[in-house]
A and B are shown apart, each in its own frame.
Chain A
Amino acid sequence: MMRFILPFVVFVVLAVFLFKGLNLNPREVPSPLIGKPAPGFVLPQLHEPQQNFSPADMKGKVWLLNVWASWCVSCREEHPVLMDLAQQNIVPIYGLDYKDNPVEAQRWLQRGGDPYVLSVTDTEGRIGIDYGVYGVPETYVIDEQGVIRYKQIGPVTPDNLREKILPMVAELQAK
């Protein structure tokens, strides 16, 4: 009996691991920034370049920092979801326009609508490096103390908004 049970057990264990592996996304690299203060920056605003914005201005509020660009294809997929979220007025969304041409970025927002309270321009992608950005779009949930609580890699979808981002925002706002 033993000679059948043992190979079967080994097979089941292997199958479970492989099946789990099938559902993992190798592109999702866990961010070491979760639970750490959001890196500081002072960047010019997209619509009013003479004015700056810094995450320090957001102390005391729960907010989303969404990294986007006019050249980014997945951002198009995400855009209506963000527009919807902005209309519900649940949480302010700030944009980090990553390695983009400001003129094209503004045109892009004119065409599809602007879900952001404001966007800042990171033309050379330096702030992106500080935030560990490696694939646009990325979205950070930042709490009242300015600590990054969650990072969504890839587009915000109705699913991950409902299951991860909004519950996290609600929990942080309740504090």
Chain B
Amino acid sequence: MKRLLILLFCLLPTFALAGEAQDMAADPVLEKRMIGLAEKLRCLVCQNESLASSHAELAEDLRREVRELMQKGMSDQEILDYLVSRYGDFVLYDPPMKKTTLVLWYGPFALLLLGAGVLFLQLRKRKSEIAEPQLTEEQSARAAALLSERQDSQTQPKDIQA
């Protein structure tokens, strides 16, 4: 008897889950489409969670809303527009390309270009800084003398061999 009771208690959690699973069973294709769309949407309560993964009550309501709109035959884009008109672009995980989001989309590239420009200028400046300094007349004369001296010493052994 005791064992039977324990066994029954073990089954309790599955009863609790049954309520949530029912919706899935009702129309698995629609449910899959709903979850797919909900992954692109932000839960407004938890903000860093998608509508698909959030357990907030509002997220559940919004999933119900999306499900019902799909049943009414609205397209994914129409449903996104429906939600944006109520909650703003914030519900979309991918911000749309608009005048106000230009900096967001192109800012990083602009910064990259700026960085590359600064790097290029710096390198060019450094190159000119480390360019060989011009020799004075005296120095070049001395260099020439040293070089010819060395050439002489190099040719000498040849002479002996010859």
| Contact among A29, A124, A130, A135 with B90 in the assembled complex (CB-CB below 8 Å) | A29
Q: Across the interface, which residues of A come within 8 angstroms of B58, CB to CB?
A: 125, 133-134
Q: Is A31 a contact of B88 with CB atoms below 8 Å?
A: yes
> How many residues belonging to A are interface residues under a CB distance threshold of 8 Å?
19
A50 → chain B closest CB, angstroms: 26
> How many residues belonging to B are interface residues under a CB distance threshold of 8 Å?
15
| Contact among A30, A32, A99, A125 with B85 in the assembled complex (CB-CB below 8 Å) | A32
B31 → chain A closest CB, angstroms: 20
A:1-45 near B, CB below 8 Å: 26-27, 29-33
Given A125-B61, A129-B61, A129-B65, decide whether A32 and B87 contact each other with a Cβ distance below 8 A: yes
Q: Across the interface, which residues of B come within 8 angstroms of A126, CB to CB?
A: 61, 65
Q: Across the interface, which residues of B come within 8 angstroms of A134, CB to CB?
A: 44-45, 58, 87
The B interface, classified by DSSP as helix, strand, loop or mixed, is helix
Q: Across the interface, which residues of B come within 8 angstroms of A29, CB to CB?
A: 44, 87-88, 90
Contact with B along A113-135 (1 / 0, CB 8 A): 00000000000111011111111
Q: Which residues of B contact A (CB under 8 A)?
A: 44-45, 47, 57-58, 61-62, 65, 84-90
Q: Mind listing 13 A-B residue pairs with CB under 8 Å?
A: A29-B44, A30-B88, A31-B87, A31-B88, A32-B88, A99-B61, A125-B58, A129-B61, A132-B87, A132-B88, A133-B58, A134-B87, A135-B45
